[in-house]
Amino acid sequence: MRTCYTGEVNKDYLDQTVTLFGWVHRRRDHGGVIFIDLRDRAGLAQIVVDPDNVDAFATAEDIRNEYCVRITGLVRLRPEGTGNPELASGEIEILCREIEVLNASVTPPFQLDDDNLSETTRLTHRVLDLRRPQMQRNLMLRYRVSIEVRKYLDNLGFIDIETPMLTKSTPEGARDYLVPSRVNAGEFFALPQSPQLFKQMLMVSGFDRYYQITKCFRDEDLRADRQPEFTQIDCETSFLNEEQIREIFEGMIRHVFATVQQVQLPDSFPTMTWEEAMRRFGSDKPDLRVKLEFVDVADLMQDVDFKVFSAPANDPASRVVALRVPGGAGMPRSEIDAYTKFVGIYGARGLAYIKVNDAASIPEGLQSPIVKNIHPEALRAMIARCGAQSGDLIFFGADKIKVVNDAIGALRVKIGHSEFGREHGLFEDGWQPLWVVDFPMFEYDEEEGRYFAAHHPFTSPKDGHEDYLETDPSRALAKAYDMVLNGWEMGGGSVRIHRADVQSKVFRALNIGAEEARNKFGFLLDALQYGAPPHGGVAFGLDRLVTMMAGAESIRDVIAFPKTQRAQCLLTQAPSAVDEKQLRELHIRLRSAEVKQ
């Protein structure tokens, strides 16, 4: 058996004989001596094979990269000046006494330390890709996060209860992955989009505090940070109110950061209403590291001679905002042009701006093609409201509310993260968590002409907002909350409806008739009738949390065997064609005309 992990041999083992298992990371001849960097999951150690040791030397001469070997040898100090302070084992080396090849390796298709591999190469050869120290660190970090989550929740009396993977299809929200039933011909299971209803039923059953770290499934068109299957830290508790629930779960995130990364997050996360977040940052997940804010100026622009501003300023469905960039007057024209192009991605038809050369002399001190179209009084009021100083730059968004929020919200983040933003103090590094609260209950879908649940249809309205469900759903706010960290939504949750009558009202507001509600959610409505307790919870995206903590570029870098954006596994070649016999047993056939050959 091994003495310790290869990466852990250090001066404590000096003059001892150790046995190590690992892979040959690098092998080089140097002055007639063979040096092997041996690697395992804990790191590297340097092995020295002397030509005096004839057997070991002969073996070492034949060894190539990625051979799996057992090495026994004496731990000694490296010669002065040859240490490697980056390694835990950097002060010592192991003088090889015995070496055994446990398994040879063909030449790998790439160097493990090549940082410029295409993702296709990496995912096709995932087994080798996972050997790379960065991937080892990422998955180790992921594990530490999950085990610390469990420790924290266990201490608070939460219990892990498994909910089914083969569940019922309820086509709301995202597309389900379906599983044809063999025993029940013509029927299908669905893979869970979340254990939402099961965890609510567990609360009704009296389990009081539940959690699960579990796979969820959504058959969506994949964006950069989505996977068909993803992992959720799913939690629910009874008898607590919104604030108490948030306190427990921000404590969990604090605990994880403190124990896994020795990072101390704030003692209490700030909360911000959804309304305020949208008003100030155009986003329900604002990156608070960026020190830029929206300033609404529609009321000042209603009577200007500039249709681009005055039209949205007079339309309640539109918004006119200014985004003051301190010190931005010096921003090069090319950068402004690039931003103009950038906001186009979000549907903005242009990007008006004003350079404030001299804030004391308006309009002369302002430089912009649009200044001439806006009367000085409006300019003066706008400059004052923005608090603009000489040397600042002001960008404008004027369009439908969603376009302005998306475009100027993205611009705000882009400028903050840019070299310019960092140099001008518009970006403050660190971890900036917050809770966004008081989300609207519903979002109106213009195309379909009906309301959809903003969170999900089991979310409780705020106290006093129940009547709005029938009178004016758009005014109803929800006991829903998202935890946001540096512009990423880490998790979200809500207090749930625990009364059958309120649940029915919400279904009505969503245009879900009594019969449809019974068909889809009858088991929940039934459960609510038997003394359902007040309850609520939260779900965190583990993939995303770990991606952030690892500083990784993609959630695929913190998942052992991820799918591509075409939802394929390049390693195993899944999905794949199956035997006709299998389809027959499942009572289905292919729509062959549509199937590629």
Binding to a copy of itself (CB under 8 A) within 134-193 occurs at 136, 139-140, 142-143, 146-147, 150, 154, 159-169, 171, 175-191
- Among positions 233-272, residues that touch a copy of itself (CB under 8 A) are 238-240, 244
What residues pair up with 99 in beta bridges, in sequence order? 71
User: If binding is defined by CB under 8 A, does position 114 make contact with a copy of itself?
Assistant: no
- In the complex with a copy of itself, the residue whose CB is nearer, 238 or 368, is 238
Least Cβ distance, residue 105 to a copy of itself (angstroms) = 4
Q: Check the annotation: does 544 bind a ligand.
A: yes
- Among positions 475-534, residues that touch a copy of itself (CB under 8 A) are 498-499, 523, 526-534
User: If binding is defined by CB under 8 A, does position 280 make contact with a copy of itself?
Assistant: no
- In the complex with a copy of itself, the residue whose CB is nearer, 127 or 224, is 127
Judged by CB under 8 A, the number of residues near a copy of itself is 124
Distances (CA, A) of 56 to 29, 48, 298: 14, 10, 80
What sign results for the dihedral spanned by CA atoms 107, 108, 110, 115? negative
Other C-beta atoms lying within 10 Å of the C-beta of residue 105: 15
Q: Check the annotation: does 455 bind a ligand.
A: yes
Token pair for 195: 């254990």
Per CB under 8 A, the list member of 103, 118, 334, 471 interacting with a copy of itself is 103
Q: Check the annotation: does 553 bind a ligand.
A: no
- Among positions 25-54, residues that touch a copy of itself (CB under 8 A) are 39-41
Q: What is the DSSP letter of 49?
A: E
Q: What is the DSSP letter of 79?
A: P
> Is 427 exposed, middle or buried (CB count within 10 Å of its CB: 0-12, 13-18, 19+)?
buried
User: If binding is defined by CB under 8 A, does position 448 make contact with a copy of itself?
Assistant: no
- In the complex with a copy of itself, the residue whose CB is nearer, 281 or 521, is 521
Least Cβ distance, residue 190 to a copy of itself (angstroms) = 8
User: If binding is defined by CB under 8 A, does position 66 make contact with a copy of itself?
Assistant: yes
- In the complex with a copy of itself, the residue whose CB is nearer, 486 or 494, is 494
Site string for a copy of itself, 193-232 (x = CB under 8 A): ----xx--xx-xxxxx------x-x-x--------xx-x-
Q: Check the annotation: does 515 bind a ligand.
A: no
> Is 161 exposed, middle or buried (CB count within 10 Å of its CB: 0-12, 13-18, 19+)?
middle
Distance between CA atoms of residues 67 and 255, nearest Å: 40
Terminal-to-terminal C-alpha distance of the chain: 52
Distance between CA atoms of residues 428 and 375, nearest Å: 36
Least Cβ distance, residue 538 to a copy of itself (angstroms) = 18
Alpha-carbon Rg of the chain, whole angstroms? 30
Token pair for 579: 């035997």
Q: DSSP per residue over 399-434, as a string?
A: EEHHHHHHHHHHHHHHHHHSHHHHHTT-B--S--EE
- Can you say which residues are annotated as belonging to the binding site? 172, 218-220, 227, 455, 489, 496, 541-544
- Can you say which residues are annotated as belonging to the binding site for ATP? 218-220, 227, 489, 541-544
- Can you say which residues are annotated as belonging to the binding site for L-aspartate? 172, 218, 455, 496
